[in-house]
Amino acid sequence: MVLRTVEWKDNSVVMIDQTKLPNTLEYVTYTDYNQVADAIRNLVIRGAPAIGVSGAFGLALAALQSDATEKDELISFLENSKKILFETRPTAVNLAWGLNKIMQVANQAITVDEIRINVVETAKKMAEEDIQINMAMGKNGSELFDDNDTIMTHCNAGALATVGYGTALGVIRAAKDSGKNVKVIATETRPVQQGSRLTAFELKHDGINVSLIPDTAVGYTMANGLVNKIIVGADRILRTGHVYNKIGTYQIATMAKHHDIPFYVAAPLSTFDMKSNPEDVIIEQRKASEVTGIGDKKTAPDGIDVINPAFDMTPPGLISGIITENGIAKPPYEESIKKLFEAN
């Protein structure tokens, strides 16, 4: 069975509850946009493209929930819902992208009925397009990988981080589907374990050879020649090629440079933020309890101060290529990224 992370069904949003993985594959159904906001905040759904589409579905629910009879009234309800959805997770730019796209469609419609129909249809289309984009990205990126490669990945940039197929894991899927025998090394990705809970689950589910390592074994695997390429996803990419991704990505990229191992990033154009500079990007800080315990077990003393950033920034000098649905950007990134957008 192909994993479908989020979808619109009978005027409701159905998602895999990723907090329950890998132990149970459970689906949740929401009819209120506040439930979708909670789901994004609490990592029931996560991964930049998946939260982008979920934000769009959340606003579509809001349009159906509101009993507004005038356009202005409905738009103001949607603006308020957008704010609540947007504030759930600030770093991944896909969330703002998804919400803005729905607001644009709502503003262009004339009647409240038209708004409701158009926002639902647009959100559904965004979900379908996400899978097509990932497959195009996979095809573009697979040429960078060879038979018998062992590829390291961090966090989960797979089907579970998108509507389906995945970004970084989509490229690995495409390489495998083109007949190459590839193996994956997944980092566990402390503190929330998106690597061990999600990537290991997803790849095993799909029959792709995967080994799990503790985050602290990244240097060991590189130094011992156990990995020869790396691919990760991204939450935000600036026009300069600065990549924001799951905490720990920066140290993997730095170590890859030291060991001369190519480090690739795969992300759709909706992950690019062509306006911001590094100092404008808010790095989300998460709960201390994610670090002071493992599951229900306490692993740190009470009252300890914790620093728990969800993401870090990898500078362009450490990145060998950025794979998108429009092609692969190579250094110098400011120029090559601009070209990818011009091809759009």
Residues catalogued as catalytic: 235
- Report the residue closest to ligand MRU, judged by CB: 233
Burial of 1: CB neighbours in 10 Å, binned 0-12, 13-18, 19+: exposed
Choice between 109 and 155, CB closer to ligand MRU: 155
Q: Does 127 bind ligand MRU (CB under 6 A)?
A: no
What is the closest distance, in whole angstroms, from the C-beta atom of residue 63 to ligand MRU in the complex? 25
Residues whose CB falls within 8 Å of the CB of residue 73, separated by 6 or more in sequence, listed in order: 66
Q: Does 173 bind ligand MRU (CB under 6 A)?
A: no
Q: Does 112 bind ligand MRU (CB under 6 A)?
A: no
CB 242 within 8 A of CB 205: no
Q: What region does 68 belong to: left with phi over 0, alpha with psi -120 to 50, or beta?
A: beta
Given CA atoms 37, 186, 272, 9 in this order, what sign does their dihedral have?
A: negative
Q: Does 235 bind ligand MRU (CB under 6 A)?
A: yes
Contacts with ligand MRU by CB under 6 A: the residue count is 18
Q: Residue with structure tokens 């599951």?
A: 295
Choice between 75 and 92, CB closer to ligand MRU: 92
Q: What region does 242 belong to: left with phi over 0, alpha with psi -120 to 50, or beta?
A: beta
Segment 35 to 74, residues that bind ligand MRU, using CB under 6 A: 46-49
Q: Does 157 bind ligand MRU (CB under 6 A)?
A: yes
Please give the structure tokens belonging to residue 21. 């993985």
Q: Does 261 bind ligand MRU (CB under 6 A)?
A: no
Choice between 109 and 163, CB closer to ligand MRU: 163
CB 54 within 8 A of CB 36: yes
Three-state SS for 251? helix
Q: Does 265 bind ligand MRU (CB under 6 A)?
A: no
Choice between 74 and 255, CB closer to ligand MRU: 255
Choice between 13 and 45, CB closer to ligand MRU: 45
Out of 54, 122, 199, 245, name the contact with ligand MRU by CB under 6 A: 245
Could you tell me how far CA 69 lies from the centroid of its own chain?
A: 36
Out of 159, 186, 310, 328, name the contact with ligand MRU by CB under 6 A: 310
Out of 127, 152, 161, 203, name the contact with ligand MRU by CB under 6 A: 161
CB 284 within 8 A of CB 90: yes
Binding stretches for ligand MRU (CB under 6 A): 46-49, 92, 155, 157, 161-162, 167, 194, 232-235, 245-246, 310
